[in-house]
Structure 1
Amino acid sequence: MIDPLIHALKGNYSSILMLHRISSIKPDALPANQNMNVSPDELADFITNVKRRGWVFLSLDEMYERLVNKKKLSKTLVLTADDGYRDNLTEGLEVISAYKVPLCVYVTTSFPDKTAKLWWYALEDAVCYDAKKNDKDYDIGLMNERFIKLRSKYLESYTNPEKYFSDYFPTFEPDWNSYCEKYCLKWDEIVFLSKNPQITIGAHTVNHACLQALTYHDAWKEIENSKTKIQDKISLRVEHFCYPFGGSDEASSREYNMATEMGFKTATTTVGGNVFPEHKDRLTSLPRYIYKQSYKIGYLSGLKQNAKYVLKSLYV
């Protein structure tokens, strides 16, 4: 354990940042449903500031090469974006291209297949629909509070979106396809992104399922089928994977071994922590930090003095 602590104190580590949506905050939308948004301007400011301070952005392939070849990781960052939101292309690509920063987009194949049920966006529409139908005051704050409570009920008690909306909004019928059309990348757009030298396309399962809750066979198929389908669509090897949800309760040694056996170079979690040289032996359980609006590079550099985060990074 001495070596990683020394690396931490010397700053010999990298950090992987996790985004979802790259989209401007909408004043007329519910704030609680925009918690995954990072605006293009905010992302551009972050990139500018960290580059000015001497940090370098790596692709996942470059991070992999540094790890396996025991090269220095000091002052390096990796950007990733989960799920496959359309604004990664429509709003994010301009920033990524302008600043020549690599980005890995992890695609959940049910998004471009239009079989995903984006219940959280349907819930926002249902809350607004209900307020208008009942002539309630169209107050963003009140609706936001109601949305948060109803979202918690779904997460605590439901896995079937249709059952949930039948119970709480019997007169509201979500158009599931329309949410995919609005929010999700299409296959031709994913192919287009894959041709950009700054973009890596990674796999993120078929249905964004909690892998640890599935049988071995079903979990394997979730990973394998997503990898195979993306490869068939973009005519490139898919060598990087991301575990849905990604905490220690959603993915652990069984899933890490699956990713290794399937030949992925790397696989990322959502367990917070930095990437150290010792991760060359743990390439399919790499930690990440959630990138949030107004992120500061000091959040990362300040952690090098904290042994707790070193341990957390290495034993996810």
Structure 2
Amino acid sequence: MNLRHKAFSAAFAAISATGADRWGRGLAQGAGVILTLHHVRPQGGDGFRPNGLLEITPGFLDATLRLIRAEGYDLVSLDEALQRLTAPRKGRFFVALTFDDGYRDNVEHAWPVLAQHGAPWTLFVTTGFADRTARLWWRELEEAIRALSEIELTLPDGRFSARTGSDAEKQRAFNKLYWRLRKQPEAILLSAISDLAGQAGIDAAAIVERECLPWETLRALSGAPGVTIGAHTLSHPMLAKHEEAFARAEIVESKARLEKEFGLAVRHFAYPVGDPTSAGPRDFALAREAGFACAVTTRPGHLFAEHAEHPHALPRVSLNGLHQSEAAVRAMLSGLPFWLWNRGRGVKAG
């Protein structure tokens, strides 16, 4: 658990203990919130699960939607969320649900729960995952470390070695290597993980085939009631790490490809990874120039009226596997953890 997640975990506990999710809403709650989800599937085994933050259970999704409804909040599409920023409904807090990447379990496990609650949702599709040409490199890294008892890599900034015999050793190695590689150019990250996956006999293409939806399912999904398809680039790069021409192509061509495949307008975009090191002002401008109505980051926060002036840098709140509790959801919906994290600033678009 990194510093941000530890800070939020502590904030969730404190907010629950003091009841601040109730009395603090007037201070921190915005007009609404966009939730980020990735995988929705039954709980995996204990032990080494470094990407567990990207997974919630169907039961937790169901409990979250029940809580949202019980609080009298509105579940809305992204289109309606944008409308409410410019024409707010006083006293009507809204929640929009977004799913990144295009995973099979979104259809198998999430969709039935969403349909039960009549909840609209947006699926941000990376075309390269549907094509089976892009890489789920964070899953490759996990599976390689799971398979190996030790790691030896030569990186441009020096040698990396670690024992990975136990689950605890594997977790420590993953955390150190992941964040070390995240600081490198993306080509170095991908090359290093390919090297490690090769040592472990991991088939990168098989991971994508197992995890991601094929085009035929996506085509059927695109016409379903309550479902919005958004773009999530061609190959899931951290855009801010690349030259402008590359970033523009990833944004523009992903929109064109999806519109060709589905025969409908694609109005919304999600930046891969989406933190300040992966998407910044240049990329916000590129998404606007590409004709998207909005684009979403993973910067944590609620939506405020001022976000209507920055629709291509919208924050989201992660509904993730590290915080699967009612107390965490109540705190997230109150806005207080993000108000504290952002030091009282409601809008961060730079």
TM-score using structure 2 length: 0.78
Aligned-residue offset at 1:183:
0.7
Within 2, Cα distance between the matches of 1:11 and 1:154? 36
* Superposition map of 1:187-226 within 5 A: 187-226=215-254
The residue number in structure 2 matching 1:4 is none
Aligned-residue offset at 1:273:
1.5
* Superposition map of 1:94-105 within 5 A: 94-105=112-123
Aligned-residue offset at 1:245:
1.9
Counterpart among 100, 109, 125 of residue 91 in structure 1? 109
Within 2, Cα distance between the matches of 1:138 and 1:10? 45
* Superposition map of 1:135-154 within 5 A: 139-154=166-181
Residues 165 and 83 (structure 1), Cα distance of their counterparts in 2 relative to 1, 3 Å cut: closer
Counterpart among 307, 312, 316 of residue 279 in structure 1? 307
Residues 73 and 84 (structure 1), Cα distance of their counterparts in 2 relative to 1, 3 Å cut: farther
TM-score using structure 1 length: 0.86
Within 2, Cα distance between the matches of 1:39 and 1:10? 28
User: Residues 105-148 of structure 1, C-alpha deviation per residue, up to 9 Å, x if partnerless?
Assistant: 1111111010122233223332333349xxx9975444434443
Within 2, Cα distance between the matches of 1:259 and 1:168? 34
Unpaired stretches in structure 2, ≥5 consecutive residues: 1-24, 151-162
Within 2, Cα distance between the matches of 1:211 and 1:12? 28
Counterpart among 190, 204, 207 of residue 179 in structure 1? 207
Counterpart among 231, 235, 260 of residue 288 in structure 2? 260
Counterpart among 281, 296, 299 of residue 329 in structure 2? 296
Deviates more, 1:138-147 or 1:63-72: 138-147
SS in 2 for 1:311: coil
Aligned-residue offset at 1:71:
4.1
Q: Name the aligned partner's letter for residue 206 of structure 2.
A: S
Unpaired stretches in structure 1, ≥5 consecutive residues: 1-6
Let me know the Cα RMSD of the aligned residues. 2.8
Deviates more, 1:267-276 or 1:42-51: 267-276
The residue number in structure 2 matching 1:24 is 42
Contact 1:9 1:305 in 2 (8 A): no
Contact 2:269 2:296 in 1 (8 A): yes
Aligned-residue offset at 1:63:
1.0
SS in 1 for 2:200: coil
Aligned-residue offset at 1:311:
2.0
Q: Name the aligned partner's letter for residue 62 of structure 1.
A: E
User: Residues 13-63 of structure 1, C-alpha deviation per residue, up to 9 Å, x if partnerless?
Assistant: 111111111122211673212220011110000100121111111100111
The residue number in structure 2 matching 1:36 is 54
The residue number in structure 2 matching 1:130 is 148
The residue number in structure 1 matching 2:262 is 234
Within 2, Cα distance between the matches of 1:276 and 1:301? 13
Within 2, Cα distance between the matches of 1:269 and 1:289? 9
Contact 1:117 1:161 in 2 (8 A): no
Aligned-residue offset at 1:257:
1.9
Residues 138 and 10 (structure 1), Cα distance of their counterparts in 2 relative to 1, 3 Å cut: closer
Q: Name the aligned partner's letter for residue 151 of structure 1.
A: Y
The residue number in structure 2 matching 1:60 is 78
Deviates more, 1:293-302 or 1:229-238: 293-302
Q: Name the aligned partner's letter for residue 101 of structure 1.
A: A
Q: Name the aligned partner's letter for residue 298 of structure 1.
A: A
